[in-house]
Every structure is written in C-alpha cells, then in structure tokens.
Amino acid sequence: MTTTATPATGTPVFAVDGLWKVFGPKADRVPGDPALAALDPAELRSRTGCTAAVRDVGFDVRKGEVFVVMGLSGSGKSTLVRCLTRLIEPTAGTIAIDGEDVRAMDGARLRALRRHRAAMVFQHFGLLPHRTVLDNVAYGLEIQGMGRAERREKAAEVVAKVGLEGMEQRRPAQLSGGQRQRVGLARALAVDPEVLLFDEPFSALDPLIRRDMQEEVVRLHREEGRTMVFITHDLQEALKLGDRIALMRDGRVVQLGTPEEIVGSPADDYVRAFVRDVPREQVLTVRTAMRPAATSEEAATGPGVRPDATVSEAIEAVSRAGTSVRVLDDGRCVGVVDAAALLNVVAGEVATGVGSHADAAAGSRAAGAARMGAAAPAERREPDPAPATTSEEPV
Amino acid sequence: MATLTATAEKTSPPGIRANPTARKLAALALVAAVLVPLAAARWSSGTWPGALTVDVSGPLGRTSDWIIDNRDSHPLFLHFLGHVSNAVVISVRAVYLALLAVGWAGVTGVCALVAWRVAGVRLALGTAGAFLACGLLGMWVPTMQTLALMVVAVAVSVLVGMVLGLAAGLSGRMDRILRPVLDTMQVLPAFAYLLPVVLVFGIGVPAAVLATVVYAAPPMARLTALGLRGADKEVLEAVESLGTTARQRLLTARLPLARRELLLGLNQTIMMALSMAVIASVIGAGGLGDRVYQALASVDVGAALAAGVPIVLLAVVLDRVTGAAGARLGQEPAPHARALWAAALAAAAAVAVAGRLTDRLEWPDGWVVGIAEPVNRAVGWMTDHLYSGVPVVGGTADWAGRFTTWVLDPLRDGLQWLPWWSVLLVVAGLAWVIGTWRTALTATSAMAAIGVLGVWKPSLDTLSQVLAAVAVTLLVGFATGVAAARSDRVERLLRPVLDVFQTMPQFVYLIPVVALFGVGRAPAVAAAVVYALPAVVRITTQGLRQVDPAALEAARSLGATSGQQLRQVQLPLARPALLLAVNQGVVLVLAVVIIGGLVGGGALGYDVVFGLAQGDLATGLVAGAAIVCLGLMLDRVTQPTERRARKGA
C-alpha cells in the first residue's frame, strides 16, 4: 500500500529516532527518566518546570519525498524541524542525515550541513530588509565565500525560476507577502540543498496566494524531485503536498502515514476529529471502496480506472458508465467499485471488503508508529537503522 | 480550570492595587516606629547629626594633592594617562587646524553639501545659513574650537559606545552588568562628571573631552545594545540556518538590522556631546561655551547671546541632519547616489580651494554684525522698565523676588527644619509606593549618603529648588500636554517650538533667564522649568493620545462628556506615561538647577563651581558626590516600574 510514496531506496535523507526537546531547568533528566517521560505536559510542567516540545519522536524522510509534519500550534512541529539542523539543540535522541550523525557534528561540519545540504524557508520569510531581492537570494552563496559576479548570476537564475523576474533590485519592504516568500524560497533554492525544510511557509499569506505558492512547491518538486520536509498546521495543505504525513499532538507523533491512511483510517479520536471535514472522495482512492469481482464476466468487461484514482474520479466514471467499474492495475482487474460502495466512502461509512482490511492494518500501523519510540533504544545502536516507519508493511 | 483563574484575575485588580500600597506603608510605619524613637533619642537635631557624618574632605584633599604632585613623575601618569591626555590634545588641535585651513567658505560648503546628500536641499540651505550666521555674529573661531572638540569627543564616544554596546548586545551577562550602570549615568546631571575628570587630568582640553565622552557615550552604548537585541529573531534564525559564522552574522545581519538604532545613538551622542562641550567650558574647554560662561560671569547678556545663538544653531542643524539620515534609512537609495556624492565632494573641495586661493580663510572682520551692544541696550531698557514697578503686574525682578520669598525660602527652611529621619522616611515611603522595595532602598541609602558626606544643608537647598521647579513644570506641562492632546491645532503650533527647545544645550537656557530675572535662585528655577517643560509636554501629549481609541469610543458611546472622558478614561489609562513625565521632569530639572550654581543658584552647584575656581577639589568632589546621590534618589523615587528608552536631552 505504498500508493504515492516513493519506494524507499538506500539510506533515508533524515533518520530521526527517539528525539526529545525539553525546555526548562535541568531539561536533560526528563527524557532519561521513564517516570518523568510518561507524564502529560501539564503535570510535567508543575512537577519539573519543564516543557517538552518534542517527545520521543522518530521517523525517516526518504529521498525525493515530501514529508509533512502537521499539528496545531504548540504541538512541537516547528521545534522539531529546527532540531533537524540543530537551530534548536535537541535534548536527547539521534538525528542522521544520509547516515551521518548530526548531533555529533562540530561547529564547522554543522555549518557545512546548513550551507550545502539543508536549507530552510520560514513563516515570516526572515529576509534582510537592507538588501535587494537579488542580494537576499545570493546571501547563502555569499556566506559560502562565492564571488560577487558568480553568485549574482546564480541568484538571478533562481529568481527567474520562482517567477520574480524584473524585481531583482527591489527591497523586501516593496514586495507583497507572496513575493517575499518567493524570495525566501529562492534563497533556500540558490544554495542547491539536498533537502528543503519549510516551516509553515504559507501560513502568513492570503488564501489565494497560498494556493499559488502551494502549486509552486508542487511544480518545483515535480521538476527537481528535491526532498522536502514541510511543516504546516493546515490539513488541506498537508494532504495536498504530502507524500507522507506525520500528525503531531503535544510533542508526539500520533499517526504517520499517507494522506489516504490518515483520512481513511484515523489512529485515534483526535485524528478522527481532525480529518472529519475533509472531503474524503478527493483523498481516498478506489482501493478503499473496491470489492472483489463477483463474476468473471464482471472482471472482464466494462470501463476501468487506475487503483490510485480518487473516489471522486471513480464516481465520475461510474455515473458516466451507469454500471460498476473495474479497477485495473497494469490491465489486470484487481477489483470492482459500484455506486453504493463509493457513496459509502463519501458518507464516511466503514467500507466493506478490502477497505475494512485496510482500515485495520492502518490502525495497527499508527499504533505501531506511536509505540515506535519505546522500541527505539534497542535499534539505536544499529549501524544502518531499519526504517522506523511502518508503512512498508505489506497489506 | 482556565475560566476560573481568568475570572479570579479579572476581579482582583482593585483589591490588589489598594492593598500593596497600604501594606507597604504599614510595613514602613512598623520599621519607623522601632527606629525613629531610637534615632531621635540619640541624635535629636533637625539637621543631619554630626556624629553620623564622615569628613571626607581631608582624604580627598590629600588625594588631590598627591595627584597634582605626582602628575609628572608617577608611572601611571607617564605611561598611560599622560599619553591619553597628549593624544586628546593633539587630535583636537589637528582637527581645529584642519578646520581653519579649510577656511570658512570651505567648512560651510562641505557641511552644507554633506547635509544635502544626507538630508536634502532644505537642510543643506539651513546648514549653510547656520554657519554663515556663526560668522556674522563674530563667533567663527570659537565655533570652530567647539566643533573641533566635539568631533574628537563624538568620535571617541561612538567608538567607546559601540564597543560597550556590542558587548552588552552580544552577551547577556555584560548586558545585566552594564544596563544599570548606563541607566544611572543617563540620569546624572552633567556637572557631576566634571570633577573626577579634573582631579585626574587637571583643568584643560583633555579633561573637557573626557568629561564629554563619559557623558555622551552611554546613549550610544544603550542604543547599540538595544538595536542588537531587538533584531527580528526570525531573520537571525534564517541567517543562522544558512550556515553563517558568528562573525558573518554580526557583520551581515545584526549590525545592518540595528542601523536605525545606531543612527539614533549617533544623533543622541552628538547632542549630548554638544551639551557637555559647552558646559565643559567650566573646566577649560574653550570655544562658544567659554564665551557664554565669561559673559554670564560679568552679566553681559549681549555677549552671552552672541555666543549662545551659534550654539543653538549648531544644535538644531546637527540634530536635524542626523535625524533625517535615520528617517531616510528605509527608503530606496536614489539613483546615481554615488555620482552625486562624488559631485558634492568635488564641489566642496572646489569651494575650499577657491577660498584658499582668494586668501579668505578667516572670516572677514567687516562682515561681523555686533549684536552685543544693541542687545545690552535692550536689556538695559528692560532692567529700567520691566524689572520692577510695572503697574498692576509688577516687574520681572519683583516676580523673582516674590517667588524666592514666598516659595523657595519657606520650602528650603521647611525642608531643613524637618528632622533628618523624617526626610529619609518620606523618601522611602514615596519610592516604595511608586516603585519596588529595591528602588526605595537605593533612594534612602542615597539620601543617607548625602547626610554622611556632611552636605545635608546645601543638598536640601538644592532639593527645595528642584521641588519648586518640578511643581511648576508639572503644573504647566500637564496643562499644556492635555491641551495639545485635545486639540490638533495646539499640537501643530507647539511641535516646532518643542523640537527646537528639546535640542538646545542646557547651558543656553541660562542666558534669557539672567536677562529677565537677574541672578539668584529664582532664575535657576526658571531655567530648569523651561528646560524640562518640552519633555514633560511631549510625553504627556503622547501618553494621552496613545490611549486605546476603543476605550475612548466606548466612553463616548455611553454619553461621557469630554471632561469625564479625560478624567475617567484618558488620565487613568495614560498613568504610566504621566509617571514617566514626572520622572523625566525631575531628572531634567535637577540637571539645570545644578548648573544654576553659575548664576547664583547657590547650594551644590555653587560648591562645584567654587571648588573648580579655587582649586579646592575636595569641596567640589563632595558636592559632586552629593549631586550623584541626589540624582539617584530623585530618579529612584519617581521611577515607574518599567523604564522606557528616552530621548537624551
């Protein structure tokens, strides 16, 4: 059931395991002490004066995927992304980039990581107000020591790529919010990083501009295939951009899975409440609604749809055909969907047949993701840690 | 849970606000009940008991003698302070000679063209006009002397201020150490800085420059630190996320982001340096301040005015040009900025060379307009006709006399009659009610230190002048502030006046009051009132205007009259601003009341001047220490819980 996610190949870009970030006095003792680690946030604060922003989080970011971390404000997602390049120093746990331990890096290696391998885009853009657009974009190259002419030439290319031609000599104050974020994006792209980190980049923008920028990111990802870690509090955005989504609450990952898994089989009531208003037919695929073909005749004739087509696409096909439709994987019929099953999905009913299996599997998977931290210490020493996520499990 | 605490917080404030005051006063009364009978029984005099004073004039005199004896032989002087002193003398001399070598046309041209590039055409014309006016008044050479001293002092102040500011901006510990020191230095009267410098360097240019640096560097340090600390956190994070080193962060992000504060710091440093460079004429600075000082000493108002006008012009020009540079920061740089700069500099050089070739370096004597004579005639006429005996209203001297007899004398005698412990008690009570127990402790200790130093009586004399001046200032200032806040027209009329008055150095205010009221304590108080008034009016107006419009609208919608709005909404909500106005008023008044010692204000200011004039540094230093204590005490007593950045005057 690896629908949209790129198959895992080799070392993950980021491998995070058992990660903690605790703010407060003597923060170090919290992750190590099982009694303290088990406390809920309010109790922890009253007992120790500490706030655990990230609690025992583990996940892998695979090469080429868009990995979304979603949660409400205060859920620890922004802290988490800053821990990846140690803009915030983690309290405990391991972070590896391409298998290299980030927490063990010295100042120079860490700077090299930030300069060349991971670049970040910020919610409020973080542009330098006294520099022109071009010099802002070239800033990352400038601090690497690149000469003026060369870095300006490179920056001009990237400025064109994000659609800001003709604005090179403006100052950030003269740009609209969307344009400023394009500058922020260009600055991150200019250093040609291996992975792009986005910290709620579009939250401060108007809805229409936000959609434009989301499409810009989709386009960039399609064109360049760059790995992205994307933080957002907007579920629509997460579903639209994410190959996989980690849903955070109170510093923990409560569910990690594809958009379809999150919407189709929420791990708990919190996630269920979160995804309740999502138009399910646009996220779930026909796999959720299909049943095995009843007769060989049903499996051989009639119009077909792809297995990763959304339910809403299948509804269109069914209503056009007036009968049930086959689900074809490489020309082989893997099942059949009819109007009733599709309507059930839209209505949020538990689908029969294959769908219910998927539900159960995804549910246990989410539970596995939440439990993962507890099992992590045993895995930590392994030279090539097995991918901690569980979505590769065969369904 | 959450709602419970919220409602609890909502209902509690009236109770809490009434309670702590009562609690604090009760605690104080308890302490007093134990200590006062004890103290009164042992040392039952109205004034500070002799048993509790420590005579420091002996050791101070010996220190002063030792320094004078060893100034030419001790290694500390030979290898360190001597070099400092020489460096200062040489650089001031070099700048002065350079200014003279460029000639009056060159200096005027260069300054006007720099003003043009930095601040626009109008200010360029204003700058040129101001310099020409200095020449016309026959004050070209003193103006250049003051300018030379200021250039050196400002350069050193900016350097020192930047270094301290960088330390405080980058290190939290340095910030915690430096902040209270810098805060305190900013509330101390300029006069307090003179004597320690004179003790080390003797009277002369080095002492004047160093006193100016000590006085003018703190605002630069404070604003540098403020700018570095106030930078947009996300920008710094973004810069860090790109892998900058600490050095790159400082040079490419933190300092550029703090440009506005740095320029504001430069502006304030220049203004304070000018103010101090003029006052430092008392310790040998020379230049314009010296002319004013000499003229005031012989009550020659005309000569004082001829030297005072250039000071004011210089102040206004410097303030406006540096201020405009700060205001232009956010704007797009004009096209061809570099070419225009080059053109401006070339033109200035041409003017200077032309002046040199035509041999017109010195201001031609024929172009001097002597205003001293006519001014003195006018003052003479005023003395004859307005001083006294004007029907119904009485003359200015009559007013001054009455103010002295009916307000200053009773206030001074009353304060001096009060038992010393009751003064301490009042100080402690006021400071505690307005601030915290810390401020109360500092204020009371400072007041006690005055007694210990043995200058209780003159200090209370100074205090009485300060209190009278503050009362008048607040009365007039609040009334004007309320008027300006309620009427746009009044504010529009007041603004240019306040702008000019806030930029003038303290010293200049003595000239008109001497012309009007002669010498004595009343003119000192009048000068203090005029000096402190603009700040009080401005803070009051701003405070009232910044009251939440929604609250005002709500009151209006309930049918409140404008008087009710003012009393029940605006004034209570503007309370922090009003407290700040009181604090500023007190600090500024003290600064000028002390300088009033030069025009017969007596008390501590006179002790300082006397000490300087007679070479009796011990007396002067004790008075200086008492001024510091008095300044600390007055500031802490009126210190609102949260101090805001203020415009140094």
Q: Does B240 touch chain A (CB under 8 A)?
A: yes
pLDDT in tens, B229-283: 888 888 999 999 988 888 888 888 888 888 888 888 888 888 888 888 888 888 8
Task: Please list every residue in chain B whose beta carbon sits closer than 8 Å to the beta carbon of residue A114.
Answer: 240-243
Q: Does B232 touch chain A (CB under 8 A)?
A: yes
Q: Is the pLDDT of residue B468 over 80?
A: yes
Contact B242 A187 (CB under 8 A): yes
d(CA B617, CA B102): 40
DSSP assignment string, B335-371 = TTHHHHHHHHHHHHHHHHHHHHHTT--SPPGGG----
Q: Which residue has the higher pLDDT, A7 or B20?
A: B20
Q: Which of B232, B237, B244 sits opposite A143 (nearest CB)?
A: B244
Q: Which of A115, A124, A171 sits opposite B242 (nearest CB)?
A: A115
Average pLDDT, stretch B442-464? 83
Contact A85 B241 (CB under 8 A): yes
Burial track A74-97 (b if 16+ CB lie within 10 A, e otherwise): bbbbbbbbbbbbbbbebbbbbbbb
In sequence order, what are the residues at sequence separation of 6 or more whose Cβ sits closer than 8 angstroms to the Cβ of residue B295?
B301, B302, B303, B304, B307
pLDDT band (50, 70, 90) for residue B200: confident
Q: Which residue has the tokens 């009253």?
A: A46
Which candidate in B242, B248, B250, B332 is best for mutational testing of the A interface (most A CBs within 10 A)? Answer: B242
Residue of A nearest to B329 (CA): A130
Residue of B nearest to A192 (CA): B242
Helices and strands (H, E) in chain A, number of each type: 19, 13
Q: Which of B232, B237, B332 sits opposite A87 (nearest CB)?
A: B237
Contact B240 A184 (CB under 8 A): no
Letter for the amino acid at A15? A
Q: Which residue has the higher pLDDT, B11 or A216?
A: A216
pLDDT score of A375: 36
Mean pLDDT score across all residues of chain B? 79
Residue of A nearest to B251 (CA): A143
B 360-419 residues with CB below 8 A of A? Answer: none
Q: Which of B238, B244, B253 sits opposite A122 (nearest CB)?
A: B238
Alpha carbon dihedral B457, B459, B460, B464, in 10-degree steps, equals 140
d(CA B649, CA B646): 9
**In chain B, pLDDT over 70 holds for what percent of residues?**
89
Average pLDDT, stretch B429-439? 79
Q: Does B2 touch chain A (CB under 8 A)?
A: no
DSSP one-letter code for A370: H
Cut 0.80: pTM above it: no
Nearest-CA neighbor of A187 among A122, A241, A237?
A: A122
pLDDT in tens, B105-143: 778 888 888 888 887 888 888 888 888 888 888 888 888
d(CA B293, CA B274): 15
Q: Which residue has the tokens 């040998």?
A: B284
Q: Does B235 touch chain A (CB under 8 A)?
A: yes
Angle between helix B301-327 and helix B140-170 axes, rounded to 10 deg: 40
* Two tokens, residue A50: 């500490």
pLDDT band (50, 70, 90) for residue B44: low
In sequence order, what are the residues at sequence separation of 6 or more whose Cβ sits closer than 8 angstroms to the Cβ of residue B476?
B529, B533
d(CA B613, CA B63): 18
Contact A126 B332 (CB under 8 A): no
Contact B235 A128 (CB under 8 A): yes
Residue of B nearest to A126 (CA): B235
At residue A290, φ and ψ (nearest 5 deg) are -85, 155
What is the H or E stretch that residue A94 is in?
Answer: strand A92-97
* Two tokens, residue B425: 């008690």
Average pLDDT, stretch B627-643? 75
pLDDT score of A383: 40
Q: Does B251 touch chain A (CB under 8 A)?
A: no
d(CA A34, CA A37): 5
pLDDT score of B425: 81
Average pLDDT, stretch B321-332? 73
Task: Please list every residue in chain A whose beta carbon sits closer than 8 Å to the beta carbon of residue B232.
Answer: 124, 126
Task: Please list every residue in chain A whose beta carbon sits closer than 8 Å to the beta carbon of residue B245.
Answer: 111, 143
CA-to-CA separations, B127 to B111, B265, B365, B508, in angstroms, rounded? 7, 21, 22, 20
Distance from A202 to chain B by nearest Cα, in Å? Answer: 15
Residue of B nearest to A188 (CA): B242
Task: Please list every residue in chain A whose beta carbon sits closer than 8 Å to the beta carbon of residue B331.
Answer: none
B229 in Cβ contact with B178 (< 8 Å): no
Separation of CA B637 from chain center: 19
Residue of A nearest to B249 (CA): A143
d(CA A154, CA A149): 9
ipTM confidence? 0.75
Contact A130 B256 (CB under 8 A): yes
Contact A126 B243 (CB under 8 A): no
Contact B330 A173 (CB under 8 A): yes
Q: By three-state DSSP, how is residue A199 classified?
A: strand
Contact A184 B235 (CB under 8 A): no
Contact B242 A184 (CB under 8 A): no
Contacts of A363-367 with C-beta under 8 Å, sequence gap 24+, read A363/A265, A363/A267, A365/A257, A365/A261, A365/A390, A365/A391, A365/A393, A366/A254, A366/A255, A366/A256, A366/A257, A366/A261, A366/A265, A366/A266, A366/A267, A366/A268, A366/A271, A367/A267
* Two tokens, residue A209: 């501009």
How many CB contacts within 8 angstroms connect chain A with chain B? 72
pLDDT score of A138: 92
Q: By three-state DSSP, how is residue A246 classified?
A: strand
At residue A257, φ and ψ (nearest 5 deg) are 180, 180
pLDDT in tens, A155-169: 999 998 888 888 888
A328 in Cβ contact with A303 (< 8 Å): no
* Two tokens, residue B35: 């200590």
Residue of B nearest to A110 (CA): B243
- Altogether, the residues listed in chain A come to a count of 395
What is the H or E stretch that residue A95 is in?
Answer: strand A92-97
pLDDT score of A66: 92
Contact A126 B257 (CB under 8 A): no
pLDDT band (50, 70, 90) for residue B157: very high
pLDDT score of B647: 36
pLDDT score of A195: 92
pLDDT score of A276: 83
pLDDT score of B419: 75
Which residue ranges of chain A lie beneath pLDDT 70? 1-9, 349-395
A195 in Cβ contact with A14 (< 8 Å): yes
Enumerate the β-bridge partners of residue A336: A291, A326
Q: Which of A130, A140, A184 sits opposite B259 (nearest CB)?
A: A130
pLDDT score of A9: 56
Q: Is the pLDDT of residue B499 over 70?
A: yes
Q: Which residue has the tokens 């420590």?
A: B54
Contact A85 B245 (CB under 8 A): no
How many angstroms separate the most distant Cα atoms in chain A?
Answer: 71
In sequence order, what are the residues at sequence separation of 6 or more whose Cβ sits closer than 8 angstroms to the Cβ of residue B230?
B258, B261
B296 in Cβ contact with B510 (< 8 Å): yes
Task: Please list every residue in chain B whose beta carbon sits closer than 8 Å to the beta carbon of residue A144.
Answer: 243
Q: Which of A116, A119, A126 sits opposite B234 (nearest CB)?
A: A126
A369 in Cβ contact with A258 (< 8 Å): no
Contact A126 B232 (CB under 8 A): yes
Q: Does B257 touch chain A (CB under 8 A)?
A: yes
pLDDT score of B640: 65
Q: Is the pLDDT of residue B416 over 60?
A: yes
Contact A191 B242 (CB under 8 A): yes
Contact B243 A122 (CB under 8 A): no
pLDDT score of B89: 86
